[in-house]
Structure 1
Amino acid sequence: MHEIIYMRTDYEPWWMFEGWEDKIMSRHEFSSTENAQSYLESVKNDFSRRFSNQQQKNAAFSCYWNEEETEYCENCEEYLQIFHGLIWLVNGQPNTSF
C-alpha cells in the first residue's frame, strides 16, 4: 500500500520527530505505485506554484515553504518557519526509491 501524506509543521518532513503524525493535514492511500506517483506529482506541481522555496530528500520527502509564513513558539520564545511537507510511504515506510 502507498500513502501520500501532507503535513504542516515547523520542521522538514524527513525528521519525522515523535508525534509527527499529529501534524498530518491529509492522507491519501493508493494500491499502485503509478497512481501514488501521479497524485504526488500533481500535488508537488501545485505546491511549486504556491511556495517560493522547496527541497527534496530522495523519493520519499518533499518540503515547501514561504519565508514569511512563521508561527510563534511560546516554549522557544521565537518565531519558527512553517513547512509544508509531503511524505510517500510504502507499507508504512518512507519510499526511498522508485
Structure 2
Amino acid sequence: MFEVIYMKADYEPWWAFEGWEEHIVKKMTFEQEEEAINYLNQTLDEFRVKFPNEQAKGDKYWAFWSMKEQCYCESCEDELQIYHGLIWNTPK
C-alpha cells in the first residue's frame, strides 16, 4: 500500500513528534503506485499555488506555509508557525 498523508501542525512533518498522528487531516491509501504518485503530484501542485513557502526533506516529506497562518502558544508565550505537511509513505 502507498499512502499520502496530509497533516497540519505547528512543526514540519519530518519531526514526527509523539502524537503526530493526531494532526492528520487526510490520509489517502492506494494499491497502485502510479495512482498514488499522481495524487501526490496533484496535491503538491495545489499546495504550491496556495502557500508561498515550501521546504522538503528527501523524497518523503514536504512542508508548506504562509507567514500569515500562525497560532498562539500559551506555554511559550509566542506565535508559532502553522505548517501543512505532506508525507509519502511507501511499502517497506
Which TM-score applies when normalising by structure 2? 0.95
RMSD: 1.0
Percent identity of equivalent pairs:
46
CA distance in 2, matches of 1:24, 1:76: 24
CA distance in 2, matches of 1:76, 1:32: 44
Aligned position for 2:15: 15
Give structure 1 stretches of 5+ with no counterpart: 94-98
Give structure 2 stretches of 5+ with no counterpart: none
CA distance in 2, matches of 1:32, 1:62: 21
Aligned position for 1:44: 44
Shift of 1:16: 0.5
**Is structure 2 residue 5 aligned with structure 1 residue 5?**
yes
CA distance in 2, matches of 1:48, 1:41: 10
**1:47 is matched by which residue type in structure 2?**
F
Report the count of equivalent residues.
Answer: 92
CA distance in 2, matches of 1:20, 1:7: 8
Which TM-score applies when normalising by structure 1? 0.90
**Could you report, residue by residue, the CA deviation over 1:30-66 in whole angstroms, capped at 9, with x for unpaired residues?**
0121111110000000000000000111111011000
Aligned position for 1:87: 87
